[in-house]
Chain A
Amino acid sequence: MFNYYMALAVLSLKRNVVLTVLMIAAVGVGIGASMTMLTVFRAMAKDPIPNKSYELFAVQIDNWGPRKSFSSNGDNLSEQVSYTDAMALMSIRAAKRQSAMYATGAALTPEDPERRPFRVHARATYADFFPMFSVRFRFGASWTAAEEAERSEVVVIARELNDKVFAGANSVGKTLNLDGHPFRVVGVMEHWEPIPKFYDLNDMYGKSEEMFVPFGRAIENQMPSWGNTNCHDDIGAPGWDGHLRSECVWLQFWAELPTAADAEHYRSVLNNYAADQQRSGRFHWPPNTRVRDVREWLTYQHVVSNEARILVLVSFSFLLVCLLNAMGLMLAKTMGRAGDIGIRRALGANRRAIFSQCLIEAGVVGLAGGCLGLALTALGLVGLRSLLSESVSRLTHLSISEVAIALILSIVATTLAGLYPTWRAAQVQPVWQLKAQ
């Protein structure tokens, strides 16, 4: 009977085109508005590294004390760490993998003299970065421990940079001229772009770096931070060494701690380190440290703002209003068909049959409304792209899952809205037909 009811639904919708268009438009507009906001929200709130988000921890140490704190979270903790603390934690090696890192960059001079040099965004980091963040390689691999220890001039490049400079060929072993230094390519990554860029939220919706250089080499080459550096009122002594010895916070620090016991152990190591700093007279306050996994970190950093949540709520309230309108129209349509329903009842249709027929019709309206809603969502996202920054607008695209959500949401919501008109239809008494003659 499903096919029969589907055919009847299409027939019924064709009978009163104006009412049908109004119903579909009401559902479509509601779905379009809510899905536009939901798509943006989901992109903002999605887990950027779902297979490891509970094993990767951002590390925080309070190296300024309560009087200098600028933390907006009220915990005196900066989102970044100082070079001193980062190097100390790297030497302790209390995690399965760990890495200090910072955003930097260089001018890349192509071998072809016809091509002009261009700026390349880079990240100075340790070899652990790649396995820790599940980065896959197209060619080659990360630099070795020996190369890291020797501070070799090696580089891992992103696939996009490899395409740009080497036309996609295997460039392992080839050399890149970065700020006048020859860096040997040891690995080419597959496309890797976690959104948001959880490991450095200074540019949370920015593109991933085009190349990665060993941390020690970057420091030795005095590659400057292209990220955020906070120094409060203590910028340290002049020069690069002074910057390294200062209490400025400009490095991100991540540790891979696969088990709860690992995390607990790391917390105690971190606290002991801070206690040592207090004892040595560097910190004049009790240990204040924290490790947060990726999920906690994104929440802590307000990656999804309250405004975004409210907008989603408002858009779904609008969907509710649209559905109520659609329900009214469905009710009018149903009552207009009471005659046909009475005939069907007289000819042997029970209430369940009428209920099914009308509910499927509501579902068809939902499906059509969902399709219209998807088109409106696509339009809405185009509109948002013109309003939002380039980095955020990159998020706003309809994926298969969003399409599925829109259609399912539309069908389910419209079917629910159709319950009352459908119930009313099922209450039509067959005798009315006879007595109305």
Chain B
Amino acid sequence: MSITKTDALFLSVGGFEAGAKVGGGFFRAMFRKVFGAAADNVPPNVVDNIVEVASDEAVAARGANTLGRVGPGAHAGESIAARSTARDFSAAERAEINRIGSNTGCHTCGTTSPGTKSGNFVPDHQPPSALNPPGGPQRLYPQCLTCSREQGLEIARMLNSGGGW
């Protein structure tokens, strides 16, 4: 099976173009999920090219990454390194995410209101832990509760359509 530019664009329009910001490993993992072992036969430079072309076309097609809810959003500003996929955030990490959120808002929709009773933004792993290659680097961005839930539905649909559950 070969991966065409159209295939890549299909994946990208689904919101994956943000993976370009974190490298081809994210895309390769997506290809592997969709195309199986065939993804491993694609040279790294081809992945890079697909990422670049698909990202540009997808972003141009819809203006910005505002529809897809997976990947750093259109309002992404500062972020902090994630120590792991775990959600054992320290007080300092939560404070930093809240500081970034109060300045630049939810990375997905831009609101500066986190929408939680606690007043805390959701520290959002990007790429999402469910879609990130094992050991792959992740960043934490502030996200509002509404967008976090929407992202959850999108991830569930991705996993479900891939036969994940």
A joins B in a complex: no
| Chain A contact residues, CB within 8 Å of chain B | none
**Which residues of B are at the interface with A, using a C-beta cutoff of 8 A?**
none
